[in-house]
């Protein structure tokens, strides 16, 4: 665990806490998406992606409007990269068009002095970045790396950089949860929804994640009754099953689930 003071307040970065929060955000949005009562509309992530596992993997956190952040991890640490529209490596990191490779070197400037041990995590993170339509560049404009008792990179070198606030939330985890950033009024309303209408979805997400950290698990019949008090949309059900299977959480009886389209 490493703490740093920044314009965002006191940031605390912890590898295991980041992995848990990524898993929980992915599970939370998967459950909320299939809920036929639509009790939880303020999920930690709008458009999630996942690859790998809890030892070596990556999580994509998109807002649906073109902005996103990615965190990737190995046993040794974490790499985070973020992008906001119009603030990719060409605009924000000084990458020349002639130097674009479509690979990791496009965004290496976001994580200066990256330890060699974190190169696999960096490459996983890059693999989840969008590709710019202009020149085929991998798009990220700011990053951080966490290795042992060190945390560094452009998030701290230039905390006003576009996308920095998307990465700062990984140092502001509360109760093992990733927090979406809202304006004051929306944040108050979202907190009230979390305490009331969305409470069953949050409780279910917490229970599943706690069990999954100990190994693969499946929803119980009681949990399914809570999640699906009436039949869900079939397409949303299939999507939730596919997403949860990716992270080692299955439906009772482990039904045959078609692979997610690639």
Q: DSSP states of 105-149 as a string? A: GGSGGGSTT--GGGHHHHHHHHHTS-B-TTT--B---EEEEEETT
Q: Interior CA angle at 22 toward 18 and 23, to 5°?
A: 120
- The pLDDT value given to residue 174: 84
pLDDT at residue 147 greater than cutoff 90:
yes
Name the residue with higher pLDDT: 190 or 120.
120
| Bridge partners, residue 84, by sequence | 87
pLDDT at 189 over 70: yes
> What pLDDT, in 10s, does the model give residues 105-143?
999 999 999 999 999 999 999 999 999 988 999 999 999
Segment holding 221, helix H or strand E: helix 221-227
Q: Is the per-residue pLDDT at 96 higher than 90?
A: yes
The answer, yes or no, to whether residue 38 has pLDDT greater than 70, is yes
Question: Given a cut of 90, is residue 183 above it in pLDDT?
Answer: no
pLDDT the model gives residue 91: 94
**First-to-final CA distance of the chain:** 36
What is the C-alpha to C-alpha distance for residues 56 and 98, in angstroms, rounded to an integer? 33
| pLDDT, position 14 | 96
Averaged pLDDT score across all residues of the chain = 91
More confident site: 175 or 199: 199
What does 222-262 look like in DSSP terms, one character per residue? HHHHHH-SSPPPHHHHHHHHHHHHHTTEE-TT----PPPP-
Token representation of residue 235: 């397409």
For residue 136, the model assigns a pLDDT of: 94
CA distance 245 to 225: 19
- CA 56/CA 95 separation, integer angstroms: 29
Count Cα atoms within 13 angstroms, Cβ side, for 262.
2
């Amino acid at each position: 665990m490493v703490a740093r003071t920044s314009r965002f307040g006191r940031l605390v970065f912890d590898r295991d806490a980041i992995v848990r929060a990524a898993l929980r955000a992915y599970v939370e949005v998967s459950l909320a998406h299939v809920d036929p009562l639509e009790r939880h509309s303020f999920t930690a992530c709008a458009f999630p992606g996942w690859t790998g596992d809890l030892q070596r993997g990556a999580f994509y956190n998109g807002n649906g409007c073109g902005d996103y952040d990615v965190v990737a991890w190995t046993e040794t640490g974490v790499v985070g990269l973020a992008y906001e529209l119009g603030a990719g490596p060409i605009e924000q990191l000084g990458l020349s068009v002639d130097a674009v490779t479509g690979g990791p070197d496009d965004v290496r400037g976001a994580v200066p002095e990256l330890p060699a041990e974190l190169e696999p995590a960096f490459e996983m993170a890059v693999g989840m970045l969008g590709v710019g339509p202009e020149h085929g560049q991998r798009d990220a404009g700011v990053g951080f790396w966490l290795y042992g008792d060190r945390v560094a990179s452009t998030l701290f070198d230039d905390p006003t950089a576009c996308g920095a606030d998307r990465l700062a939330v990984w140092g502001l985890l509360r109760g093992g949860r990733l927090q979406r950033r809202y304006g004051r009024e929306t944040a108050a309303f979202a907190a009230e929804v979390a305490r009331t209408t969305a409470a069953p979805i949050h409780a279910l997400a917490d229970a599943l994640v706690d069990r999954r950290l100990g190994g693969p698990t499946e929803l119980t019949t009681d949990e399914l009754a809570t999640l699906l008090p009436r039949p869900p949309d079939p397409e949303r059900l299939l999507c939730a099953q596919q997403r949860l299977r990716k992270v080692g959480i299955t439906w009772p009886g482990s039904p045959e689930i078609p692979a997610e389209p690639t």
